[in-house]
């Protein structure tokens, strides 16, 4: 039992390191933009999470080797205290990447000892820490991509499997009615997936697959980015202010649309899901197509009947607490609870999401203008 | 029948003019901030609404005396075409206030003729125009107040009835279950109140009256504006960026809290509903009180059992389309439909809302940072 | 003697009122942009100047009818005290335009009485007040033009004499050597024209007339706004940030360049001086032409030999104190003394400058990005 | 001769590397703010300078190993072409620091060969390149300090000799009259030091030493940062917007003022020159002291009679071309020529200026708000 916990802990931690392994100290230290973080920061912050929330309260005699890390690598926990400004994480040149690797080693050693000693008594805490680490694994990919996309030479980084072409389109007819939504409490879930509760759904149809690059190109060709009537008011403001005319990272070169990816710049695959669109674009596309985005409840209710996991799928639902939700006590109340306004829910997971991390009740969320995540969408319609 | 329509049209139009009557050309022409509009602009825009959407399409032979007004006084209808920038409405010194009064006279004459001739055949259009005008009556008050509050001399404007002290506090126990929400289609309603649909509510309690100034002062005294853990992340960012430490228009002078009102600066009445708070503040207050905001469905379901109408009440619900909602065709699809992200629903109406304008299914909405509206809140809690 | 002083006072004051006379309360109340002020504010501030600096200290028994005006209409004198924010002068809807006219009357009455009683004992103070008022006469024109240029209908305001075509081009050869610069102290001058002092000038040539619209069009046609090598670094930043491609108020319509003027939009006259260019544009034009701007000393030394007064002419000289300059004591030290960095000197006067206001030692100054003034340039070159 | 050139080249290049030697790849890659550059960028850009302006045009057969560096490490030369945005130099994680070292080696090898072959025929070009490199040596110090000052742990970097206490105060009486200013053309000088020309100076006095920390503390204690009358208008705007209340990097801790330095945070030495003040602060201090800043000509004329070289000394003079100045042809015309507006001249050099780099005709220049340079001031007064 303890062995299994130690082994699982090690697997997740190693996966993070494998991701970051190919990056130089400079690559790992730079911050592409205020929304993104340096990879080195992700490596340190995930370690800080175990140190702060597991080792310090639960491992008697554990002494942080670098007490200033409690401050330096706090992301947003006011319960824990002050922290550097988010937009200045790229200025934290000390500790070095090598020292952060060492920090990981030291915490891993202490965690292994604790897991062997305490076993299931710390299981839930460790589960949260590992789920947290997996979230940052995906952020390492999105944030490094944001960095490389801003580099004039557009370097490739991972020879990654690119998004596969999708199976044939089509619709699932859904009866609606009273359905149960949210996590059932068996196994790990984030607090915002709880409590399980009933909702009423109308009859509707939901697409079998996400919208593809080719479909999105048709929207672009039809002047989608020039028709204010397709857009929410604030979305149209984004289009004009930022000059949006294609998904993030797309560029028209030598007669064809290309997209910057972790494998460098590549032609857009018209059969693969469109990616790096904001909620505003997802919603405008749906309106153009004469459809709408599914609510997160419609998505969850149908999720056993379609394939997902290629791109995060924007839903029609703002990220709000489920009926009867209570914030966890202490710092964990800040984990999701202070981001419950101004964000929309994404469901399903992406190719950058670690295997096994996601589930159908999983609620990811980002502001409607965010485009640097692996975000696309699926359509729905009333019938 | 036609007489009644003409009379009702005249009553609403006169009410607008009564509100604006005491203002000089300068007062009516200035724009306090980009979110607010000059009173003169409100007088013209509401007239433009009847001209553009009723007279031009439905009154054969009607010729706009000033065709450029179609452009000048368009608020946000892309269907109608281009328009001046919202933030520059205060620069529209031509036409003058006197010319706008004339514009109102000319359109009123044509409208009366049309109403006598067409009667019920234009009733729904005119209902919408009048409801629209009533919304702008309230905006005239909020926007003039925003202007006078920025004037160093803080002039009084209306000797208005101030907010009454509230009846005793207390809670309504609500069973929840399956309830019908939304307008039943009898009489006028805005498109966003439709369609009527069923939702499931949990058992809960809802307060009999809105939060009072005195209760809000206790939150302030307890350091409410200094405790990040009470706030949503983006709300806390507002607190810091704008230095919020009290509701909009409040100022501590000579040992007591005062508030700028349409009757000038007045002491805060601890027994009256707190007003001019943002959604962020409403939500933080609720968390501090160990409660939460009601959802808009909970509010609507209980609305027959409590008094409302003193302040608009922020709810826990983002402004999103009801299940099965369809945007009205043409320009009216823009009326509410492009503001369905980034805003929260307010319910109930304020002392500045024209009598008879509001109803329990009415969905007002503003961004969570807005404070210049007459906005307060009511609490709820799970049981 | 006193009669002459009273008469002169009256003439200047009346000239201000003649300028503003055609404007409605709305026109006079609006503020086009933070750099400009409402005409009503100019009317009040020039009056405030006499009240604050002449009547209050020198007219025993004078009591300001509205003590709050001391605060409301202070422009930038920290010696006098606090004041409203410059960017919010358009929100000062109280006092009304009518009340400002009354304020002028009251102050004029008191000033006339004082002038009759005190005569030459207040002459220098009154001279300064009248020179100040004349400066604001020109600002009334520039600021109203800035307002009307932002109005979608581009209203005409004054049927003004437009800029005349210029006499033939050509150069004046200047020997240079030791020359005296600055005002000789006989008659009125602003403090920044003092003290008179010697400078050494190199041999050079200076143009007989300012650069014309036609010459500037050649610069534009030659890609002047697209060649970074012609520009100062910060000027090029302006070109890109604001998308400059022609002088302020110019617009290409129906195959020809037009300019917004106080008489409405008019075709650009290629024979008249180019106007509404920033220092950045003036300097880039000069570089493109293979010449340079004259220094203010070169300009002043040659001024008796050419015609000027059609446009303010940007010089090569930053606005800095003359050697040995001492700030006047009290508030008048702020008149020019706190604007001696970040501005360039303009010489000569424009068609909007009141007759008799300017002289060859006169030093006007504005930041290098300013374009709403009547600003052009004359060329020079080394030989 | 060639040997001497090679040796001198090597000495300057090594000095750069010695400075940067103690920095990790992260330290060298981060950009503290848009005005500063990463150390790695300085290492590469100085090398680019030799490659672009010496090797490519003058070394037949030389082939850049990485042609993309021509774009990546161009600072601001429009003559050379496009370049990355200045504010995103910290995102250039590729090439790595190690690759930049290699780039230096390759260019150094080619330069040594060229110097041996061409000798004096490239001497002036190489002189410029070395003077350029020395300027960046100082920028390496200022920019790394800006970075470490933003790091929450305020790391020390160099155990540097700190600023020495200054000899006794006092004044030099200067007769003024006609004096020669500017470089005499013997040996290297930047183009903006030319041509030598005569100016007239008034009689005045100039201080024997720069203003000290102790003197500046008296200004602070006397409310210098709270008295608008001491400040230029735009300087006072900086004080308010940025909350300035002491020189950059100063902080009041445990009862004493400290300053962040390259050796970490240290107590302010009241006997050493005050450093890290903007021109605005220098000018306000001078006004408070009842003196003024010297003009650059006064400074240069007296420079043989006082010690300088501890801090760069702000002068009263805007950076403008000397009479008769001509921009060098080609890219070198951009070296200083496009920064001749909006900057003030500093004279004298600092402890971070390489030995032998400065001379009394040297004109350094920065915008009046700049504080991250080693900038102080000396006083003067009229007599």
Report angle CA B105, B111, B114 to the nearest 5 degrees.
Answer: 145
B27: nearest CA in chain C? C93
For residue C119, the model assigns a pLDDT of: 80
- The minimal CB distance from B96 to the residues C26, C31, C97 is found for C26
A88 φ/ψ angles, rounded to the nearest 5 degrees: -115, 20
Residue B120: its pLDDT value, please?
81
pLDDT of residue B217: 98
Measured between alpha carbons, how far is A291 from A301 in angstroms, rounded to an integer?
A: 19
| Banded model confidence at residue B90, pLDDT cuts 50, 70, 90 | very high
Q: How confident is the model at residue B100 (pLDDT cuts 50, 70, 90)?
A: very high
Identity of the residue in A198, A324, A341 whose CB atom sits nearest the CB atom of B232: A341
CB contact under 8 A, D202 and C320: no
Find out whether D112 and D369 touch, Cβ atoms under 8 Å.
no
Q: Which of A71, A93, A147 comes nearest D27 by C-beta? A: A93
Q: Which residue of A has its CA nearest to D82?
A: A152
Mean pLDDT value across chain D: 96
b/e burial code for range A112-145 (CB count within 10 A of at least 16 → b): bebbeebbeebeebbebbbbbbbbbbbbbbbbbb
CA distance D267 to D152: 18
The C-alpha atoms of residue D136 and residue B236 are separated, in whole angstroms, by 42
- Say how many residues make up chain B: 383
Query: Where residue B1 falls among pLDDT bands split at 50, 70, 90?
Result: low
Overall average pLDDT of the B144-167 stretch: 87
pLDDT of amino acid C161: 60
Interface test with C, best of B28, B93, B101, B148 (most C CBs within 10 A): B93
Of A202, A229, A340, nearest to B324 by CB-CB distance is A202
Using a CB–CB cut-off of 8 Å, the residues of A that contact D are: 24-32, 40, 68, 71-72, 84, 88, 90-94, 96-97, 147, 150-153, 155
Q: How many CB pairs under 8 A join A and B?
A: 82
Is the per-residue pLDDT at B102 higher than 90?
Answer: yes
Q: Which residues on chain C are in Cβ contact (under 8 Å) with B31?
A: 90
Number of other CB atoms surrounding residue B308 within 10 Å: 20
pTM comes to 0.96
CA-nearest of A102, A79, A104, A100 to A89 is: A100
With contacts defined as CB-CB under 8 Å, which chain B residues touch A369? Answer: none
Q: A-D interface: how many C-beta pairs under 8 angstroms?
A: 84
Subunit contact D27:A155, Cβ cutoff 8 A: no
Please judge whether C178 and D200 are an interchain contact, meaning their C-beta atoms are less than 8 angstroms apart.
yes
Q: What percent of chain B has pLDDT over 90?
A: 93
In chain A, the percentage of residues whose pLDDT exceeds 70 is 99
Q: Measured between alpha carbons, how far is A198 from A180 in angstroms, rounded to an integer? A: 4
Mean pLDDT calculated for residue range D72-82: 93
Residues of chain B contacting C32 with CB distance shorter than 8 Å = 91
Query: To probe the interface with B, which of C43, C85, C91 has the most B CB atoms within 10 Å?
Result: C91
> Averaged over B159-183, what is the pLDDT?
87
Q: Report the C-alpha gap between B110 and B115 in whole angstroms.
A: 9
Return the DSSP state at C292.
Answer: B
CB within 8 Å: D25 and A30: no
Cβ within 8 Å, pair B344-A341: yes
CA quadruple D311, D316, D318, D322: dihedral positive or negative? negative
Mean pLDDT of D323-352: 96
Sign of the CA dihedral running B68, B73, B76, B80 = negative
Residue B263: is its pLDDT beyond 70? yes
C382 interaction partners in chain D (CB closer than 8 Å): 323-324
**Shortest distance, CA D223 to any CA of chain C (angstroms):** 15
State how far residue A92 is from chain D, nearest Cα, in angstroms: 6
Using a CB-CB distance cutoff of 8 angstroms, which residues of chain C are in contact with residue D196? none
Residues in chain A with CB shorter than 8 Å from the CB of B315 are: none
Contacts of D235 in chain C (CB under 8 A): 341
Q: How far apart are CA C109 and CA D6, in angstroms?
A: 83
> Per residue in A5-48, pLDDT tens?
999 999 999 999 999 988 999 999 999 999 999 999 999 999 99
DSSP run (H or E) holding C382:
strand C380-382
| Mean pLDDT in residue range D333-347 | 97
Range in B163-172, B319-328, D12-21, D74-83 the model is least confident about: B163-172
Among candidates C234, C323, C382 on the partner chain, residue whose Cβ is nearest the Cβ of D342 = C234
Give the pLDDT of residue A165: 80
B339–A232 CB contact, under 8 Å: yes
Which parts of chain C register pLDDT below 50?
A: none
Average pLDDT, integer, range D31-48: 98
> Which of A71, A93, A150 is opposite residue D24, by nearest beta carbon?
A93
Nearest C-alpha of chain B: how many angstroms from A92?
22
Q: Which of C18, C51, C54 is nearest to C157 (CA)?
A: C18
Q: What is the mean pLDDT of residues D265-293?
A: 97
Assess whether pLDDT exceeds 80 at residue D347: yes
As a whole number, mean pLDDT of residues D165-188 equals: 92
**How far is the alpha carbon of C24 from chain D, nearest alpha carbon, in Å?**
33
Query: A96 vs chain D: nearest CA distance in angstroms?
Result: 7
Q: What's the rounded mean pLDDT across residues B246-250?
A: 98
pLDDT of residue A279: 98
Residue of C86, C192, C205, C229 for testing the chain D interface, max D β-carbons within 10 Å: C229
CA D168 to chain centre: 26
Q: Could you say which of A200, A231, A342 has the minimum Cβ distance to residue B342? A: A342
Whether residue D135 is predicted with pLDDT greater than 70 in this model: the reply is yes
The C-alpha atoms of residue D292 and residue D207 are separated, in whole angstroms, by: 11
| Residues on chain C touching D198 (C-beta within 8 angstroms) | 200
Cβ distance of D235 and C341 shorter than 8 Å: yes
pLDDT digits (tens, 9 = 90+) for A298-357: 999 999 999 999 999 999 999 999 999 999 999 999 999 999 999 999 999 999 999 999
Residue contact A233–B79, C-beta within 8 A: no
Sign of the four-CA dihedral B263, B269, B272, B275: positive
**Smallest Cα–Cα separation from D126: which of D142, D113, D137?**
D113
Which of D74, D93, D151, D260 would you mutate first to test chain A, the one with the most A CBs within 10 A? D93
Does D162 have pLDDT greater than 80? no
Chains B and D in direct contact, meaning 3 or more beta-carbon pairs closer than 8 angstroms: no
Calculate mean pLDDT across residues D291-305. Answer: 98
């Amino acid at each position: 039992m303890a062995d299994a916990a130690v082994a699982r802990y090690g697997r997740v931690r190693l996966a993070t390191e494998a991701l970051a392994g190919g990056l130089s100290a400079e690559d790992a230290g730079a911050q592409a933009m205020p929304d993104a973080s340096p990879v080195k920061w992700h490596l340190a912050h995930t370690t800080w999470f175990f140190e702060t929330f597991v080792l310090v309260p639960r491992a008697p005699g554990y002494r942080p080797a670098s007490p200033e890390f409690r401050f330096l690598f706090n992301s947003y926990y006011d319960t824990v205290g002050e922290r550097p400004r988010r937009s200045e994480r790229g200025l934290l040149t000390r500790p070095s990447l090598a020292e952060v690797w060492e920090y990981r080693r030291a915490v891993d050693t202490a965690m292994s000892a604790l897991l062997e000693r305490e076993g299931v008594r710390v299981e839930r805490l460790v589960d949260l820490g590992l789920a947290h680490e997996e979230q940052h694994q995906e952020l390492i990919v999105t944030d490094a991509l944001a960095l490389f996309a801003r580099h004039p030479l557009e370097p490739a980084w991972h020879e990654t499997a690119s998004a596969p072409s999708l199976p044939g389109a089509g619709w699932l007819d859904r009866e609606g009615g009273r359905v149960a939504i949210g996590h059932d409490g068996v196994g790990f879930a984030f607090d915002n997936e709880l409590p399980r509760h009933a909702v009423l759904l109308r009859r509707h149809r939901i697409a079998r697959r996400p919208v593809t690059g080719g479909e999105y190109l048709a929207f672009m060709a039809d002047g989608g980015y020039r028709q204010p009537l397709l857009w929410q008011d604030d979305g149209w403001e984004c289009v004009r202010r930022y000059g949006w005319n294609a998904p993030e990272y797309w560029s028209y070169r030598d007669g064809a649309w290309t997209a910057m990816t972790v494998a460098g710049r590549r032609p857009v695959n018209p059969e693969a899901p469109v990616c790096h669109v904001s909620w505003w674009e997802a919603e405008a596309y749906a309106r153009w197509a004469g459809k709408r985005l599914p609510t997160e409840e419609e998505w969850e209710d149908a999720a056993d009947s379609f394939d997902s996991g290629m791109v995060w799928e924007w839903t029609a639902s703002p990220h709000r607490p489920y009926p009867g939700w209570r914030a966890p006590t202490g710092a964990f109340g800040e984990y999701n609870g202070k981001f419950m306004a101004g964000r929309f829910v994404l469901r399903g997971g992406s190719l950058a999401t670690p295997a096994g991390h996601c589930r159908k009740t999983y609620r990811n969320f980002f502001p409607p203008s965010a485009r640097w995540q692996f975000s696309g969408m699926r359509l729905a319609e009333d019938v």
